[in-house]
């Protein structure tokens, strides 16, 4: 029999029953639901809304349910629609009438809001920790490759020389912003909606400050209608996760390119790549590709929730039950991708000689050649034109700038001297870029130290 049987003259159609039910995917909120109910029952007892001994009985009953769920002794029922009604029904079955008093002064609308917030609040530190672990790998790879020169690209055309360390720290900075976005999200969601009731609180002397504190929230939310209709915290988390996945996906794309024969900048560890069922020579970057693919799934969750919420009038609407699968799937996906990606990166081998070979072609020292002339007094635009002519010459003769003779150089400008070869050496080009944030060894060491400090500060807080 349904809780609302008093109002109805017919049983719910089985189609509707199944359609309406969320227990299949919200069962994972059992811990948060029980924590919320314990805080609520304790407050009801303390405020004299129910008898203290009944509150105690409820709390004891809830604890036994928690233990049984954790011991896998509980079967949830579709008839009880969701995790909230399942646990309430189970409680009444176990402790009798006292169980029927638990729902005094609350609604499933504030209940589901508090459960989901608690869930997200617990997951964010886990997500942050996984990003910090990835930062450790990036720092390790960077430290080991401070002098590994490789081409930097624009438009995927070789552009200017950089190092693998500088490259790694570019990603480290993206993931640093991801951590701060997750922290912002956590900060803003840290308010407790419990006690908002269906939408307009209740006539009981419910103390929302008590329940907020008991559940570890900074304070209760300030408006009860907003409390039950707000899913911003889930959308914010999904946005932060989408951006994080976008970073992982860009990185994955680079790894896919880098381990192709066209680049061969890196070798994936055998344990982090896969073979082909037909082509014996293949070693495929499946992990990177799957991370890239799963990015679409996380974006999908964000768009799902934005679309579900669009145009919903206040306050709770059943549409909002659709928030959970998208939210859980995105969290699960990111928690799945981060460790495997970090391990793949950690175990890949860098091929400095192949990077240097690529850096030696493609005229990535052309800007440096123009700068050489500029430092000898020529305006940059004129120097740029002269080097353009040299590059044009090289493309015809199959030379690179470094293989031209001094005579070739002098033919276009008398400012060229023997020291041009030193100026064009890739190591000089990289280490000459000592500007803050640049690829010179000292600059990159500063970047590494900043990330190490950022990571250490977060670790100290946990």
Applying CB under 6 A, the residues found at the interface with ligand ARG are 22, 26, 82, 108-109, 112, 316, 318, 320-321
Measured from the CB atom, the residue of 229 and 249 that comes closer to ligand ARG is 229
We find the least distance from the C-beta atom of residue 318 to ligand ARG, in angstroms, to be 6
In the residue annotation, 276 being an active-site residue is answered as yes
For residue 365, the tally of other CB atoms under 10 A from its CB is 25
Q: Which residue has the tokens 């995917």?
A: 25
Q: Nearest Cα to 255, choosing from 335, 349, 131?
A: 349
- Please give the span between the terminal C-alpha atoms of the chain, in angstroms, as a whole number: 47
Measured from the CB atom, the residue of 22 and 249 that comes closer to ligand ARG is 22
Helices (H) and strands (E) in the chain, counts: 19, 6
For residue 426, the tally of other CB atoms under 10 A from its CB is 20
**Secondary structure of residue 63 in the 3-state scheme:** helix
Q: Are 348 and 266 in contact (CB under 8 A)?
A: yes
Task: Determine the angle formed by the axes of helices 52-70 and 83-95, rounding to 10 degrees.
Answer: 120
3-state helix, strand, coil in the chain (%, to 5): 70, 5, 25
We find the least distance from the C-beta atom of residue 39 to ligand ARG, in angstroms, to be 18
Tokens coding 129: 């920790």
**Secondary structure of residue 163 in the 3-state scheme:** strand
Tokens coding 390: 């040299």
Q: Is the dihedral of CA 170, 172, 176, 179 positive or negative?
A: positive
Which run of H or E residues covers position 312? Answer: none
Measured from the CB atom, the residue of 26 and 371 that comes closer to ligand ARG is 26
**Secondary structure of residue 234 in the 3-state scheme:** helix
Identified catalytic residue from 53, 77, 260, 276: 276
By DSSP bridging, strand 266-267 and strand 149-154 are unpaired
**Secondary structure of residue 149 in the 3-state scheme:** strand
Identified catalytic residue from 21, 40, 155, 414: 155
Q: Nearest Cα to 308, choosing from 295, 294, 325?
A: 325
Q: Is the dihedral of CA 436, 437, 440, 446 positive or negative?
A: positive
103 Cβ contact partners less than 8 Å away, ≥ 6 residues apart:
88
| 270: Cα within 13 Å, side-chain hemisphere | 1
φ and ψ at residue 198, rounded to 5 degrees:
-65, -40
We find the least distance from the C-beta atom of residue 330 to ligand ARG, in angstroms, to be 17
Question: What is the set of active-site residues?
Answer: 155, 276
């Amino acid at each position: 029999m349904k809780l609302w049987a008093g109002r109805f003259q017919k049983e719910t159609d089985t189609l509707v029953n199944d359609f309406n039910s969320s227990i299949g995917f919200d069962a994972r909120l059992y811990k948060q639901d029980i924590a919320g109910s314990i805080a609520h029952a304790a407050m009801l007892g303390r405020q004299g809304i129910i008898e203290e001994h009944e509150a105690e009985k409820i709390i004891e009953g809830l604890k036994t349910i928690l233990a049984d769920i954790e011991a896998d002794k509980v079967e949830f029922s579709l008839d009880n629609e969701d995790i909230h009604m399942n646990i309430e029904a189970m409680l009444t079955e176990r402790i009798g009438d006292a169980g029927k008093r638990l729902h005094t002064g609350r609604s499933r609308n504030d209940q589901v809001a508090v459960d989901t917030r608690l869930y997200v609040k617990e997951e964010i530190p886990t997500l942050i920790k996984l990003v910090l672990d990835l930062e450790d790998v990036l720092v390790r790879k960077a430290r080991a490759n401070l002098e590994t020169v490789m081409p930097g690209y624009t438009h995927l055309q070789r552009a200017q020389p950089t190092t693998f360390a500088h490259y790694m720290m570019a990603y480290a900075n993206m993931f640093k912003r991801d951590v701060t976005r997750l922290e912002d999200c956590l900060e803003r969601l840290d308010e407790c909606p419990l006690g908002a009731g269906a939408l307009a609180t209740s006539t009981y002397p419910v103390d929302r400050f008590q329940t907020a504190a008991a559940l570890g929230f900074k304070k209760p939310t300030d408006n009860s209608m907003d409390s039950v209709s707000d899913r911003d915290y889930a959308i914010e988390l999904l946005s932060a996760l989408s951006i994080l996945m976008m970073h992982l996906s860009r990185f994955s794309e680079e790894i896919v390119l880098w381990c192709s024969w066209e680049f061969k900048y890196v070798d994936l560890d055998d344990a982090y790549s896969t073979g082909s069922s037909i082509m014996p020579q293949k070693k495929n970057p499946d992990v990177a590709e799957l991370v890239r693919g799963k990015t679409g799934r996380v974006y999908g969750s964000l768009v799902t929730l934005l679309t579900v919420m669009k145009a919903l009038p206040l306050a709770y609407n059943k549409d909002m039950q659709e928030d959970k699968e998208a939210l859980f799937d995105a969290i699960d996906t990111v928690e799945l991708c981060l460790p495997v990606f970090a391990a793949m990166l950690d175990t890949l081998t860098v091929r400095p000689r192949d990077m240097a070979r690529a850096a030696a072609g493609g005229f990535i020292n052309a800007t440096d050649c123009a700068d050489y002339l500029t430092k000898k007094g020529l305006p940059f635009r004129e120097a740029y034109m002269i080097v353009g002519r040299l590059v044009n010459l090289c493309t015809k003769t199959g030379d690179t700038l470094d293989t031209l003779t001094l005579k070739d150089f002098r033919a276009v400008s008398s400012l060229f001297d023997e020291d041009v070869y030193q100026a064009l050496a890739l190591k000089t080009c990289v280490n000459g870029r000592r500007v803050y944030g640049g690829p010179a060894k000292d600059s990159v060491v500063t970047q590494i130290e900043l990330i190490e400090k950022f990571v250490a500060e977060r670790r100290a807080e946990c």
